[in-house]
Amino acid sequence: MRILITGANGFLGHYLVPVLLDKGYDVLATGKGACRLQLVSQATFRYTEMDFTDRTAVAVVTDGFKPDVIIHAGAMSKPDECETNQEAALLINTTATGSLLQEAAKHRSFFIFISTDFVFDGNSGMYREEDIPAPVNYYGETKWLAEKKVEQYPFPRAIVRTVLVYGQPLAGRSNILSIVKEKLEAGEIYKVVDDQLRTPTFVGDLANAIAMIAAKKATGTWHISGKDVMTPYEMACSAADYLHLDKTRLLRVTADTFSQPARRPARTGFIIDKAVRELGYNPVSFEEGLKKTFRN
């Protein structure tokens, strides 16, 4: 099976590409600019530069590879960046998804779109797949608009929504867990919000779930996240405990402490029963995810 991935240089891409290669698929990883994945030792690994906002480039790459499956993981994924640069966010997250779909249709590829809990307003989480999106920021808006384009795709397709993905960060990048480690090891105070609920997702679980959806050509919308419902403050405390660091330096604050350009939905955890029942999805606990994140 030939699988093309967009945004392969990103956080998810770094974990998803090896999972698919290990399963023996013919994988074409694509990304903006040069390859930043460290997989050169894998004989079957292939990378092609493809800016997916460039329709001609997308046509050349997809016509050459004729993918059975396209996993569209690339995005402008930072909510604040989307809020302050709305034109680019709409182009990258929505318009380009539309052109990718048109190119995918030429090959009748199974199209998997990676989406987000931020399509919901966070007023009545936890959310099931059939709940109605109502984004509260522009990132969520562009992803929701893209989902609607995916729904119009005339061939099999899946929308995979996920929540606050964590794991060992890429070089030069950070996430809430790496920041906790860095700040507390330096003896600094770290303010963390305690009035938002999430079901944080271990990146390896998300990669495996996407691989299952590709293998089964499992159509429809899928909520893929962890099973523990936590606030970011609780996540930070668990990480501090696990690393034997002083959690009294974690300051419990409310979201209105920060003046971020993009509003965050308050409660967005996912109900993952459908994926557990129909895919055999079995995510790790947050405790286990911490071990996997910090094991090196």
Ligand X SMILES: NC(=O)c1ccc[n+]([C@@H]2O[C@H](COP(=O)([O-])OP(=O)(O)OC[C@H]3O[C@@H](n4cnc5c(N)ncnc54)[C@H](OP(=O)(O)O)[C@@H]3O)[C@@H](O)[C@H]2O)c1
267: which strand partners?
197
Q: Which part of the chain contacts ligand X (CB under 6 A), choosing from 8-16, 208-216, 228-236, 273-281?
A: 8-16
Residue where the block lists tokens 């050169």? 40
Rg (CA), the chain: 19
User: What DSSP designation does 236 have?
Assistant: H
- Nearest approach in angstroms of CB 7 to ligand X is 3
* One residue of 9, 62, 142, 208 binding ligand X per CB under 6 A: 9
Q: Which of 119, 169, 179 is nearest to 143 (CA)?
A: 119
Are 27 and 55 in contact by the 8 Å Cβ rule? The answer is no
Which residue stretch of 98-106, 127-135, 159-167, 184-192 sits at the interface with ligand X (rule: CB under 6 A)?
159-167
Name which of 75 and 230 has its Cβ closer to ligand X: 75
CB of 78 to ligand X, least distance (A): 7
CB of 89: closest distance to ligand X in angstroms? 10
For residues 248-277, which are near ligand X according to CB under 6 A?
A: none
SS3 for 157-218 is EEEEEECCEECCCCCCCCCHHHHHHHHHHCCCCEEEECCCEECCEEHHHHHHHHHHHHHHCC
CA atoms within 13 A on the CB side of 55: 8
Of the candidates 130, 249, 286, 270, which has an alpha carbon nearest to the alpha carbon of residue 197? 270
Is residue 208 involved in binding ligand X (CB under 6 A)?
no
Of 17 and 76, nearer to ligand X (C-beta) is 76
Q: How many C-alpha atoms does 265 have within 13 Å on its Cβ side?
A: 27
Binding mask 108-137 for ligand X (x = CB under 6 A): ------x-x---------------------
Nearer Cβ to ligand X (249/294): 294
Site string for ligand X, 63-102 (x = CB under 6 A): ----------xxxxx--------------x----------
Site for ligand X in 14-33 (CB under 6 A): 31-33
Residue 52 in 3-state DSSP?
A: coil
Binder of ligand X out of 150, 165, 177, 180 (CB under 6 A):
165
> By the criterion CB under 6 A, which residues form the site for ligand X?
6-7, 9-13, 31-33, 51-53, 73-77, 92, 114, 116, 162, 164-165
